[in-house]
Amino acid sequence: MKNRLIIGIILILFVAAITNPSKEKYIAYVKETSIQQKNNIVERGVYSFFISPVMNLSTTSHDYIFFTIFETDIGEAIKYKAIGMFNKFILIGNEKQDIKNNSVYKL
């Protein structure tokens, strides 16, 4: 029973390690989901053209072998934080700062 549990844990960790997404996959995910949220064809075109370079410059990744934490800081107004594991992304922090009132709130 213990051997099966240990083998199962090792197998899950192995799969997590080989399916740990890269920064490029994260940027492609954000680009795709952002474009889907736009209603106007012009907005979609502008977003698809500019989002990859902006995200590439403003995103840092912290690789922990089994998962990666991505932090995106777009100026002073928008900050995203996500965990990537098993080729999926989970948004764990999405803050938007009201520059006029200097307050931060979760989206």
Distance CA 87, CA 29 (A): 10
Does residue 105 surpass a pLDDT of 50?
Answer: no
Q: What would the pLDDT profile of 68-79 be if each residue is shown by its tens digit? A: 999 988 877 678
Predicted TM-score (pTM) of the model is 0.76
Instruction: Dump pLDDT digits (tens) for 3-56.
Output: 999 999 999 999 999 999 999 999 988 888 877 877 778 777 777 778 788 888
**What region, left, alpha or beta, does residue 34 occupy, with left being phi > 0 and alpha being psi -120 to 50 degrees?**
alpha
Per-residue pLDDT, 14: 96
Tokens 């795709």 belong to residue = 32
Burial 33-56 (b: 16+ CB within 10 A, else e): eeeeeeeeeeeeeebeeebeebbe
pLDDT (mean) for 69-95: 85
Mean pLDDT score, 85-106: 64
What number of other Cβ atoms are within 10 A of residue 102's Cβ?
Answer: 8
What's residue 16's pLDDT?
A: 96
pLDDT at 106 over 80: no
* pLDDT at position 94: 65
29: Cβ contacts below 8 Å, ≥ 6 apart:
21, 89
